[in-house]
A and B are shown apart, each in its own frame.
Chain A
Amino acid sequence: MPQNKAFRIGRAGQAGRERASMSVYYLNQWRPSNKVSYGEVCSLDAIPFETQEVIHLDAGEDKYRLLIRKLGEKYQGISSNARVLGGEPHIEGTRVSVAHVLRHIYHLGSIDAVVEEFRQSKIGRGQIAEAIAYAHDFMEMACDPSEDDY
């Protein structure tokens, strides 16, 4: 059956989808009277699960970098520099990342306790709060990555 053939041709990724749409094109050429839509021939369900995962991560990586850059503009106290912590967002002028702040809050239970912990680093309550807000926005935008957000 031509439909089955088209299914087999449909591979993962953009190239795969293009190939699948081409196969639809040829299918339609062969059977002009009985056109088959793209959805009927190839859907994401036809792509092997493992391949779908890879596509998702590759596409996401650049978006997250872009997100970090955009949030860096919003939160002046949080910076991202490839030389410090490998580019992880951190409190400006320190080696304390947003993730470190969250970890300390998780373990210590309060912002005041974290401020006390970083007394030596002179990190204030405002900076801790900014790191939390940054993490909040990052999560929110990463989970709903519409174009307007970043």
Chain B
Amino acid sequence: MTRLRMITDQNLAGLDATLNERYPKKIKAISALAHDFHDYTADEDLIRFGHKKKYILLTSDVKSIKKSKYPPCKHGGIVNLPGMPSKDEVLSRIEKLIQSGPRYLKQIRGHFTHLGSDGATIYKEHGEVVQVPFT
């Protein structure tokens, strides 16, 4: 069974608790505020923490946390949520991603993923791109 370890960005307020509650077998989420990393407000520090602890960063900062800046396989994994999604919309997208199956979920680790409402795009090393359509 694939269980994703995720660290939710501070601006996705309280999402970690909701994810743990809804998908206890699929996701283990922690907040960027949890534990001892209150000072991890800088983008790089947060991504470095995720890399070190093997957590996938879930963020809505499409402007600062970009694929060009943080290329695949140089971090624990980044899931970016483009647009202006509400909390319900974010949960809906994650649910669709989980329903897409373990084949795709496994590929999120260490890679850069754009998680949209219609589908996800996983950017891997050497320019490889995997499209995950949500049906």
With CB as the reference atom, state the residue of chain A lying closest to B88. Answer: A107
Chain A residues closer than 8 Å to B129, beta-carbon distance: none
Interface residue SS majority, chain B: loop
Chain B residues closer than 8 Å to A84, beta-carbon distance: 41-43
Known: A107-B87, A117-B14. A94 touches B63 (CB 8 A): no
* A23 contacts B by Cβ under 8 Å: no
Chain A residues closer than 8 Å to B32, beta-carbon distance: 95
Bound-complex Cα distance A93 to B39 (A): 8
A interface, size bucket: 20 to 34
Tell me the chain A residues, 79-114 only, with Cβ under 8 Å from chain B. Answer: 81, 83-88, 93-97, 100, 103-104, 106-107
Chain A residues closer than 8 Å to B64, beta-carbon distance: 85-88
Bound-complex Cα distance A97 to B33 (A): 15
The stretch among A14-22, A38-46, A118-126 that forms the contact with chain B is A118-126
Chain A residues closer than 8 Å to B44, beta-carbon distance: 83
Chain B: residues with Cβ within 8 Å of the partner, total of 22
The stretch among B5-13, B20-28, B103-111 that forms the contact with chain A is B5-13
Tell me the chain B residues, 42-86 only, with Cβ under 8 Å from chain A. Answer: 42-46, 60-61, 63-65, 84, 86
With CB as the reference atom, state the residue of chain A lying closest to B83. Answer: A103
* B31 contacts A by Cβ under 8 Å: yes
Q: Is there contact, CB below 8 Å, between A95 and B84? A: no
Known: A85-B64, A86-B63, A107-B87. A119 touches B14 (CB 8 A): yes
With CB as the reference atom, state the residue of chain B lying closest to A85. Answer: B64
- Cβ-neighbour of B13 out of A83, A104, A106 (below 8 A): A104
Known: A95-B41, A96-B11. A120 touches B86 (CB 8 A): no
8 other contacts beyond A84-B43, A120-B14, A121-B13, with CB at 8 A cut-off?
A: A83-B44, A83-B45, A85-B61, A86-B64, A86-B65, A94-B10, A95-B9, A97-B11
Question: Which residues of chain A have a CB within 8 Å of any CB of chain B?
Answer: 81, 83-88, 93-97, 100, 103-104, 106-107, 117-121
Question: Which residues of chain B have a CB within 8 Å of any CB of chain A?
Answer: 9-11, 13-14, 31-33, 41-46, 60-61, 63-65, 84, 86-87
